[in-house]
Structure 1
Amino acid sequence: MRQIFVSNNHIGKTIALPIYTNKGFIFVREGNVLTEALIEKLHGIGIAYIYVEENFADNVVIELALPDTLRLTVLQELQALYKDIEKNRRVNEAAFTKIARNILMHINVSENSILPQDHATNDFISKLAMHSLHVAVSCIYGLKNRREKIDLIEKVIITALLHDVGKLIDKNDPLQAGVEVIKSTTNYPATIYIPIMHLNERYDGTGPLKVKGDSLFLNSQVLHIANDYVNLLSKYNRVYEAVETLSADAVGKFDMDIFKSVTDAFYCYPNGLMVQLLDKREGIVVRQNKNFTTRPVVMTTTNEVVDLVTSPTIFIASTLD
C-alpha cells in the first residue's frame, strides 16, 4: 500500500482504502482505478492524498489510529453537534464528553498508526469536524508520548473538539465566543476552556493577551502545538514540511521541553510514502522506528531493507509523491 497525493501522475493506480462522503457513505470503493475524472472529483471534495496498491509495497505497515467505523461515527456526531451549536448557541456537554472518552478508549498511538484524511470536507461543518478530530488525535499522541494521566488527556480531547466552535457564532472574535458558549452552557471546569482563550498566546509573552511562561499551562501549549501542526499539514500536505515549519517558529512561542516531547510523536515520513535516498536509491517507507521521527525503515525498489537508525550515514533526500 502506497500513500500518494491526488494528481494526474497516478492515473491508472488502484485505490487501496475506501474514500467517504461528508455523510459517511462510501464515495469510492477500494479496487477502483484512478481516472482523470475521478481525480477531479476527489479534488472537489477536499481529498488531498489517498492510499493505492503498489507491487513493491506489500511490507508497508498500516495501522489505524481509530477503527474506521468509530472514526466515521465520531465525524458524523461532531457535525451534528456543531450544527446544534450554530443554531442554538449551546454545547452538549454529555455528548462531547462521551465522544472524548470513546476516542480515548479506542485510540492506537503506535508509531505506525495513521488517521486517514479520506473523508470529504466540502463544507465548513465537515471541515471543522475533520480538523477538530485531527487536532484531538495529535494532542493524544503528544500527551501519551509524555505519559500524562488519562484524566488530563480526556480534558484536552474535549478542548480540542471544542476549540474552534466560536467560528460558528462570531467570526470576528471566535475564541472569546467559543469560551463564552462553553462557560454559559456547560459545567466544564476552566481547564477545558482556558486553553481556547490562550490559543494564540506565546511563551515569551508577546501574544495578544500577554500571557507568558508558566502561566501557559500544559493543556494550553499542547493544544496550540497540535492546532498549528494540523493547520500546517493542511497547507503543505507533507508531515516533514509541517514539522520543519512548526519547529522553525517554536522558539519563543512554546516551552521547548513541552514542544519536543509532543512533536516527538509526529513521524515525518508516513508509512507508504515513496522517498529517494541521498545515494539516489528509491524506496517506500515500510515502518517507523519508535522515537526516531525522521529515521524510518525503507524498502527500496530492488527489495533492499534500509533501516535509517542502524544506517546513520544514509538520509532521505526527497519524497516521491
Structure 2
Amino acid sequence: MRLVPIQYVKAGSFLAKTIYDDKGTILLREGVQLTESYIRRVKLLGMFAMYINDEYSEKGVEDIIKPELRQKAVKTIKETFYSFEKFNLNVGKSSVQDKKLILEKQNYFKSIREIGVEITEELLARKSVLINIVDIKSIDSYTYQHSVNVAVLSLVMGIQLQLDRKKLYELCLGALIHDIGKALIPEDILKKNGKLTEEESKIVKEHTVKGYDFLKGSVDVPATSRVIALQHHEREDGKGYPEGRKGNEINDLAKIVAVADVYDALTSERPYREAMSPNDAVEYIMANGQIQFNYDLVKAFSKSIVPYPEGTVVRLSNGEVAVVEEVYPNYTLRPKVKIIGVKNEEVYRDLRNELEIVIVGPQYVIEKE
C-alpha cells in the first residue's frame, strides 16, 4: 500500500484504504478497482491523494489510530467549529437561546475531551511510538484533519518525553482545539489560492486570541489546554505571535504543539503550494531548533517521526528507486531499502552504512522495463 497523489493514480489500480467524506460516510470502499469516473469523483471532492495497492509495496502503511476513531475526531472537531460560529453569531439575542448555545458548547467540548482521552490511551497501548503521519486530506476538511494529526504528533512527542497521563490528556485536548479560533476567520482568507496580503495575514493571526477567549469558562477545557490555543505560534526567539513570548515564557505543551503544527502543515498539499517532502520537513524542523522551536523538543521529534515508513516507494540521490524495508529508531531518515528494477537478484541498501546516498523524496511513477 502506498499513498499516491491524485494526478498519478491510474485507472485499474486497487484502492488500499476506504475513502470517507467529511461526515464520515463511505465514498469508496477498500479493495475497489479504480475507474476514471471514480478518480474524477475523488478529485471533485478536493482530495489530493489516494492509497493504492500494487506490486511495489507489499507492506501496509498502518495509521497510528483506528480509522473510525480518526473519523469520529474529525467529525466532532468540525461540528465544534460550526458551533463556535453559531455561538458568536447568536449569543445575546435571548436568554433562552444563550443557555441553549452554552449547553451545546459544553457538550461539544466534553465530546472532544473524551476523544482526546481515547486517542491518548490508544497511543499509550502501542509497543512503539515511532510513527508515520500520512493522511488523506481534502481542501474543505483540511483544518479538522490537521487538528487530529497535530494531536497525534504532539502525543507521540509527549510520550517520548515521558509526560504523565494528566499532561498527555491536556496536551491532546489542546492540540485538537488549537485552531478553534479559525472558525471566526473568513473562509475566503483561509482558503485563498495565493499569498495573503499583510492585512489578511493580520486577520489570520487573530485566531490564537479569539480561540483562547472562546475557551474561557469552558469547564471541560483545562487552563493548560486553553493556553495551547493562545501560544502555539510563539517562537523560542521571541518572533512569534500573539505576544512575542520567548524561551521559558512559553508554555511547555504549547511548544510541543508548535512543532507538530508546522510539520503537518509543511507536509500537506494546499491549494497555493505543493506539500514539502517528509525528509525536507524534518530537516526544516531540526534546522530551526533554538530559533523557532525548543531544541530538546526537536530532538524528541526527530526520534519519533518516520518520514518514510516500511512499504514506501522512494527515490534515492543516486537515481535508484527503492522500497523501504526496515526503519531504525534514531535513524529514521536512513532506513534499509530494496532496489526496484534489478533483474534476477534482490539488491538492498542500508543507508546507515552508505552515507553518500540519501532519500530525495517519495517516488509515485514507476517505469516498468
CA drift at 1:181:
1.1
User: Given that residues 3 and 271 in structure 1 are in contact (C-alpha distance below 8 angstroms), is that contact kept between their aligned partners in structure 2?
Assistant: no
Match 1:196 to one of 224, 229, 243 = 229
- TM-score normalised by length of structure 2: 0.77
Secondary structure of 2:322 counterpart: strand
Aligned to 1:84: 83
Alignment of 1:1-321 (within 5 A): 1-8=1-8, 10-58=10-58, 60-89=59-88, 90-91=105-106, 92-107=108-123, 108=126, 110=128, 113-115=131-133, 117-118=135-136, 121-123=138-140, 126-169=141-184, 172=203, 173-186=206-219, 188-208=221-241, 209-235=243-269, 236=275, 238-301=277-340, 302=342, 303-321=346-364
CA distance in 2, matches of 1:318, 1:227: 21
CA drift at 1:170:
5.1
CA drift at 1:127:
2.7
- TM-score normalised by length of structure 1: 0.88
Give deviations 1:22-75, integer Å, cap 9, x for gaps: 1112211223334444333323323222221122422x2533211122222222
Q: Pick closer, same or farther for the CA change 1:199–1:160 going to 2, 3 Å.
A: same
CA distance in 2, matches of 1:127, 1:263: 24
Q: Which moved more, 1:311-320 or 1:137-146?
A: 311-320
Q: Pick closer, same or farther for the CA change 1:257–1:273 going to 2, 3 Å.
A: same
Secondary structure of 1:195 counterpart: helix
Which of structures 1 and 2 has the larger relative contact order (alpha carbons within 8 angstroms, sep 6+)?
A: 1
Consecutive unaligned residues in structure 2, runs of 5 or more: 89-104, 187-202, 270-274, 365-369
Q: Which moved more, 1:309-318 or 1:268-277?
A: 309-318
Q: Pick closer, same or farther for the CA change 1:319–1:187 going to 2, 3 Å.
A: closer
User: Given that residues 276 and 319 in structure 1 are in contact (C-alpha distance below 8 angstroms), is that contact kept between their aligned partners in structure 2?
Assistant: yes
User: Given that residues 153 and 260 in structure 2 are in contact (C-alpha distance below 8 angstroms), is that contact kept between their aligned partners in structure 1?
Assistant: yes
CA drift at 1:155:
0.5
Give deviations 1:266-296, integer Å, cap 9, x for gaps: 2222333212334443211234212212012
Give deviations 1:51-104, integer Å, cap 9, x for gaps: 21122422x253321112222222222222222222125354322211110111
Q: Pick closer, same or farther for the CA change 1:185–1:169 going to 2, 3 Å.
A: farther
Q: How many residues get paired? A: 317
User: Given that residues 3 and 51 in structure 2 are in contact (C-alpha distance below 8 angstroms), is that contact kept between their aligned partners in structure 1?
Assistant: yes
User: Given that residues 20 and 118 in structure 1 are in contact (C-alpha distance below 8 angstroms), is that contact kept between their aligned partners in structure 2?
Assistant: no
CA distance in 2, matches of 1:21, 1:206: 38
CA distance in 2, matches of 1:99, 1:9: 33
Secondary structure of 1:63 counterpart: coil
Q: Which moved more, 1:104-113 or 1:135-144?
A: 104-113
Q: Pick closer, same or farther for the CA change 1:270–1:237 going to 2, 3 Å.
A: farther
CA distance in 2, matches of 1:77, 1:256: 33
User: Given that residues 20 and 26 in structure 1 are in contact (C-alpha distance below 8 angstroms), is that contact kept between their aligned partners in structure 2?
Assistant: yes
Consecutive unaligned residues in structure 1, runs of 5 or more: none
Q: Pick closer, same or farther for the CA change 1:312–1:129 going to 2, 3 Å.
A: same
Secondary structure of 1:27 counterpart: strand
Higher gyration radius (CA): 2
Q: Which moved more, 1:192-201 or 1:237-246?
A: 237-246
Secondary structure of 1:201 counterpart: coil
Give deviations 1:138-182, integer Å, cap 9, x for gaps: 101211122222211111111111111112135532211110111
Q: Pick closer, same or farther for the CA change 1:296–1:67 going to 2, 3 Å.
A: same
Q: Pick closer, same or farther for the CA change 1:105–1:281 going to 2, 3 Å.
A: same
Q: Which amino acid aligns with 2:223?
A: A
Q: Pick closer, same or farther for the CA change 1:310–1:6 going to 2, 3 Å.
A: same
CA distance in 2, matches of 1:170, 1:61: 38
CA distance in 2, matches of 1:87, 1:106: 32
CA drift at 1:190:
2.5
